Amino acid sequence: MDLKGFLPGKEKEKKKELYWALIIESDWVQAGIWTINENKAQIISFSQPTSWALEGELIQAVDTVLSTAIQNFPENETEPSKTVFGVVASWVSEGQIKKEYLDKLKQICSKLSLEPVGFVVLPEAISNLVKVEEGAPLSSVVLGLSKEKIEISIFSLGNLRGTSYVARSVSVVEDVAEGLSRFSGSGSLPSRFILYNGREGELDEVRQILIKGNWDDFEKIKFLHTPKIEIIEPERKIIAVALAGASEIAGVSEIDKKSIKEETFDEKSIPSRPLNLKPASEKISAEDLGFVMEKDVRGETGEKTKDEKLDDSQKLLKEETGKSSKEEVKKPEEDLKANTLREIGQSRPLAKFRNIFMSFLGIFSNIFLKLKPGFATGRRSLFIGVMFFLIIIFGLFGFWWFYPRATITLYISAQTLNETVEVNIDPNLSQPNYSESALPGELVETSLDGEKTKSTTGTKTVGEKAKGTVTFYRVGPELTLNSDTLLTGANNLKFSLDETITLASGSASSPGTTSAQVTAYDIGAQYNLASQTSFTVANYSTSDIEAKNSDSFSGGSSREISAVSEEDQETLEKELRDELLEKAKEELKKDISDDLIFIDESVSSKSTSLDFSDKVGDEASTLKLNLSLDVSGIAVEKKSAIEVARESLKDKVPEGYVLRDEQIDINFEFIESKDEVYKLETEVSANLLPEINVEEISEKVKGKYPEIARKYLTQEVAGFTHADVILKPKLPGRLGTLPHISKNIEIEITAER
């Protein structure tokens, strides 16, 4: 132990200021410590991501990652308090953090004694990082993955084109395609994907799925070539947030490449100032936090001097606490109280261990100072050695007792229940009748129109008819032939007279001759008959009338063109109608309140306008349709629908298992509609997990060896199959017990697959 720091009169040199980088995603949190070293952003240490789901878990998860990141920190040095937050885009609206998320940040800052410096949106921080690393602005699709949705941000030459949010389904490729299709009107999309979240295993799995995806199947999205899929590792997200913060604070645009292991924690390089542990300001806006949204992360900073930045920091501190930083320097007693309050409020194992260690050190110092000057030098040395040995023993014991943490993942065999119930939805019903499975419904309506163009698939033959002159040879009295009289030539090709003619009389030795113009009965080059072709005239025999052409017929031609078919119109109408119905469903779902469930299967539509650009048979290579629809559907109260599901499943729930609302899945299938009553077949399913008290389990297994804890879980937890135990740190031999502090044990429950 270096005791030089306890000696009075030690001059304190100027030290680098440390900052937290705290990333909060929809399912994960991660923390890191960084500083500015030689005009570069340098990462001191960082934690692995920790998951969170419920509202109450966020602060505990943040506390966990802060404690993990501080593990490699020198014990006699003060940890940072100033914090740069990295948040997902859904937390931000119009350059400001949304109120519901702002409240969460204020709670985190207040309960964990963090001082907010600023925030940055993760996709923009990643874009800035790539620009620094590659030396060129980013053109990419940045995908943020969570359990329930995918956040899609598109960058072109470093500029954010927009962000879209898509609820996750069973197909990641289709989810991404749906989000990208919303940008289809803005040209080709970047052929590069960058994925991020807190779980590298899932990222690699999604990456493989996206690589195998056939993007040519989606008409609305276009890539210049097959997209390249990349992953942002957790540590690079910390670097991205730290770089964004450093660029704002000191105009830094470089990263220190040294790893954590290469970094040495010199006393002189780490600040020893008292922590600013004041609660966060009541009014924390995006501007208060110091970052500009929807622009380059350094685009609005200007060139401030270090003194100006210090003045700004002091102003913000004064606004938050009501006193200047100079006043704080004059009142070290208040800072000491603040430190005490922080350590009580932190509940971090490292802080507790530090308290115990410093208490023993204080006792040792008091005893040492009270020794009489005449106390023999040898005995004094022996006493110091014994006391120092006891401090080490107690310190190691305190570390072993308070510091370790454990994550126990319980795999529970889930019970699956399925039931089918016929439900009647009546908009005129005021109260639900659960015994008859009748629920009140709310009729929701909307009107929308759209247009769609499609290539035609029909064909049509067009051309000209052949013409020529025919000479008639008549044996018998004079005869009149009407126009349109048919003449049949070679290959049964038919021609008609252009006008009425009278054939002169004649005899067998001297037949009467008359010439007339004829036109082919149909188009085509096959009617261009050669000269001296013989023709039969109507129903007359060749002994009465014979006809021949002295010259070849000409002018006959044909060609095939694209034309509108009936199938083209039907297909185009169906496709546009389906698209409008899907759009209508989304609009209707947005219009209803959160306590209602919209039933997709109840959607009906009526065409108010149907206009094709061409009729069936018209020559056209494309066909355009303008369609207007009135769309209506039924929404039911979520609470009522779940209650019907509970009624159908309550007698099937095994003993020891609990049916929770969030475990119930309801699917509707439309049967019929009669007298404004919708009859639906409702498929109800639930994955049941046993009722487990995680606090009781933590209390029961604390201090036990993992093998003994597994035996306890096998005996006491219904449906338990096995457990994964992760100890941090993993101590050797008989020291490798579970933590002795129950709240240092994190228990996760997952269904066995």
Could you tell me if residue 688 is left (phi over 0), alpha (psi between -120 and 50 degrees) or otherwise beta? beta
Triad 172, 174, 175: Cα angle to 5°: 60
Q: Which amino acid is at 128?
A: N
Report whether 509 contacts 519 (CB < 8 A). Answer: no
| Percent helix / strand / coil, the chain, rounded to 5 | 35, 35, 30
Report whether 632 contacts 603 (CB < 8 A). Answer: yes
**Token couple for 585:** 């469903």
CA distance 58 to 346: 14
Name residue, tokens 């559907």. 633
Triad 216, 221, 223: Cα angle to 5°: 70
**C-alpha 617, offset from chain centre:** 46
Cis peptide before 349 (omega within 30 of 0): no
CA distance 576 to 569: 11
CA distance 570 to 437: 39
DSSP notation for 699-726: HHHTTS-HHHHHHHHHHHSTTEEEEEEE
Element containing residue 588 per DSSP (H, E): helix 566-591
CA distance 279 to 129: 31
**Token couple for 687:** 């994955």
Quick check: helix, strand or coil at residue 675? coil
Element containing residue 57 per DSSP (H, E): helix 57-69
Domain covering 18-250: architecture: 2-Layer Sandwich (3.30)
**Domain covering 459-563, topology:** Elongation Factor Tu (Ef-tu); domain 3 (2.40.30)
Instruction: Report the candidate in 495, 498, 480 with the shortest Cα–Cα distance to residue 527.
Output: 495
Report whether 125 contacts 117 (CB < 8 A). Answer: no
**Torsion 355-359-360-362 (CA) sign:** positive
**Token couple for 332:** 């070290």
Tell if the pTM clears 0.75, that is, is over it. no
Element containing residue 429 per DSSP (H, E): none
Name residue, tokens 């000057």. 373
Element containing residue 363 per DSSP (H, E): helix 349-370
- pLDDT at position 331 is 32
**Token couple for 373:** 């000057």
Contacts of 470 (CB under 8 A, 6+ apart): 487, 495, 515, 516, 517, 518, 535, 547, 548, 549
Element containing residue 378 per DSSP (H, E): helix 377-402
Phi, psi of 75, deg, nearest 5 = -70, -25
Report whether 241 contacts 29 (CB < 8 A). Answer: no
Q: Which amino acid is at 149?
A: K
CA distance 183 to 154: 9
Phi, psi of 192, deg, nearest 5 = -150, 130
CA distance 631 to 588: 9
Strands 512-523 and 494-497: antiparallel
CA distance 16 to 268: 8
Helices 99-111, 57-69: inter-axial angle, 10-degree rounding: 50
| CB neighbours of residue 620 within 10 Å | 20
**Token couple for 692:** 């487990």
**C-alpha 611, offset from chain centre:** 38
Mean pLDDT per 10-residue section of the chain, whose length is 753 residues: 38 68 92 89 88 84 87 71 92 88 90 90 93 90 91 91 88 89 76 87 87 85 87 91 89 73 36 33 43 40 39 38 34 30 36 50 53 54 80 83 87 81 86 85 90 90 93 91 92 94 88 93 93 92 90 92 91 93 90 86 88 90 93 88 83 77 80 82 81 82 87 81 86 84 84 66
**Token couple for 369:** 């100072």
CA distance 439 to 108: 43
- pLDDT at position 419 is 85
Report whether 740 contacts 702 (CB < 8 A). Answer: yes
Triad 536, 542, 548: Cα angle to 5°: 55
Q: Domain boundaries in the chain?
A: 18-250, 459-563
Quick check: helix, strand or coil at residue 455? strand
Quick check: helix, strand or coil at residue 285? coil
DSSP state of 506: B
Residues in the chain: 753
Cα-based distances in Å from 116 to 267, 270, 319, 601, 659: 25, 20, 13, 48, 42
CA distance 381 to 378: 5
Instruction: Report the candidate in 406, 499, 498, 470 with the shortest Cα–Cα distance to residue 701.
Output: 406
31 CB burial (10 A radius; 0-12, 13-18, 19+): buried
SS3 of 519-576 = EEEEECHHHCCCCCCEEEECCCCCCCEEEECCCCCECCEEEEEEECCHHHHHHHHHHH
- pLDDT at position 356 is 52
- pLDDT at position 188 is 79
Contacts of 563 (CB under 8 A, 6+ apart): 456, 458, 459, 460, 617, 618, 619, 620
Name residue, tokens 């487990």. 692
589-597 long-range contacts, Cβ below 8 Å, gap at least 24?
591/444, 591/446, 592/442, 592/444, 592/635, 595/637, 595/638, 595/639, 596/442, 596/635, 596/636, 596/637, 596/638, 597/635, 597/636, 597/637, 597/638, 597/641, 597/666
Partnered with residue 564 across adjacent β-strands are none
Name residue, tokens 């009936």. 566
Could you tell me if residue 693 is left (phi over 0), alpha (psi between -120 and 50 degrees) or otherwise beta? beta
Instruction: Report the candidate in 678, 671, 642, 673 with the shortest Cα–Cα distance to residue 659.
Output: 642
- pLDDT at position 604 is 86
Half-sphere exposure of 295 (CA within 13 A, CB side): 10
